[in-house]
Amino acid sequence: MTETETPTTFNRVMLKISGEALMGDQGYGLHPPTVERIAREVKAVHDMGVEICMVIGGGNVFRGLQGSAQGMERTTADYMGMLATVMNALAMQSALEGLGVFTRVISAITMNEVAEPYIRRRAVRHLEKKRVCIFAAGTGNPYFTTDTAATLRANEMSCEAIFMGKNGVDGVYDKDPAKHNDAKRYDMVTYDEVLQKRLGVMDASAIALARDNNLPLIVFPLDTPGGFKSILEGKGTFTRVQG
């Protein structure tokens, strides 16, 4: 353990954030200071010695489901959404490497000039060398969300938990806290409760995949400074989703 490392119960984790988290106060696209702030949160955990995978959504640029709802052919719209996640992954890579953190962008769609193709053993080796692996382009298949991609990659990489970074909320609530003053936050909730009560943590396919592989989800506030690191240290406010 180096001088910068502190004890943590996790050795390898998946961080899943939405594309909208990169917008800052803008209504669209990337806000570089926000990207850098999130990169600093990741670096703080990386400095603890934790191996980190990341999946970033693409909703700040293009969301396939919305394109489909507006008349675009669904498969084409989903592929466009996958390309949006690659743009976000490259932005995060640039921010992390500017902080001295070595990274690899690994794409489920082959684009050798900008990202590595997904090869599981190679990705595991990157993690072992303490490189942050940013998985882009979802699963490489239409009709699957980045939530499902994050859960799939987390299982393939033998991650010990998925950390779901949310803006504006500090966990999972029984109803929308922005609309209901009496909304109650769960400290812990089961996968089945999330599905039955439609709590909106992840889409149903992702929750089912996590449940079937007993992979815990930790929902925490991404916009709280030091929030990611504090949970790794056993502190902070969050909701744990498990069996």
**Whether pLDDT at 37 is above 50:** yes
**Whether pLDDT at 1 is above 50:** no
> pLDDT value at position 2?
43
Half-sphere exposure of 101 (CA within 13 A, CB side): 32
Give the residues across from 186 on adjacent strands.
172
Task: Give the least confident one: 23-27, 188-192, 195-199.
Answer: 23-27
More confident: 31 or 243: 31
More confident: 243 or 7: 243
Confidence of residue 3 (pLDDT cuts 50, 70, 90): very low
Alpha helices in the chain (DSSP H): 32-46, 64-69, 74-98, 120-128, 146-156, 191-196, 204-212, 227-232
User: What distance in Å separates the CA atoms of residue 96 and residue 102, rounded to the nearest whole number?
Assistant: 7
From the list 55, 38, 44, 41, the residue with the least C-alpha distance to 8 is: 44
* Residues 217-228 pLDDT 10s: 999 999 889 999
**Whether pLDDT at 62 is above 60:** yes
Domain residue limits, the chain: 12-242
Q: What percentage of the chain reaches a pLDDT higher than 90?
A: 79
User: What distance in Å separates the CA atoms of residue 66 and residue 61, rounded to the nearest whole number?
Assistant: 11
> pLDDT value at position 83?
96
Judge contact between 157 and 123, C-beta under 8 A. yes
**Burial code of 11-39, b = ≥16 C-beta within 10 A, e = fewer?**
ebbbbbbbbbbbbbeeeeebbeebbbbbb
* Residues 124-165 pLDDT 10s: 999 999 999 999 999 999 999 999 999 999 999 999 999 999
> pLDDT value at position 13?
98
- The topology under which CATH files domain 12-242 is Carbamate kinase (3.40.1160)
* Residues 90-121 pLDDT 10s: 999 999 999 999 999 999 999 999 999 999 99
Half-sphere exposure of 60 (CA within 13 A, CB side): 26
> pLDDT value at position 168?
83
> pLDDT value at position 7?
55
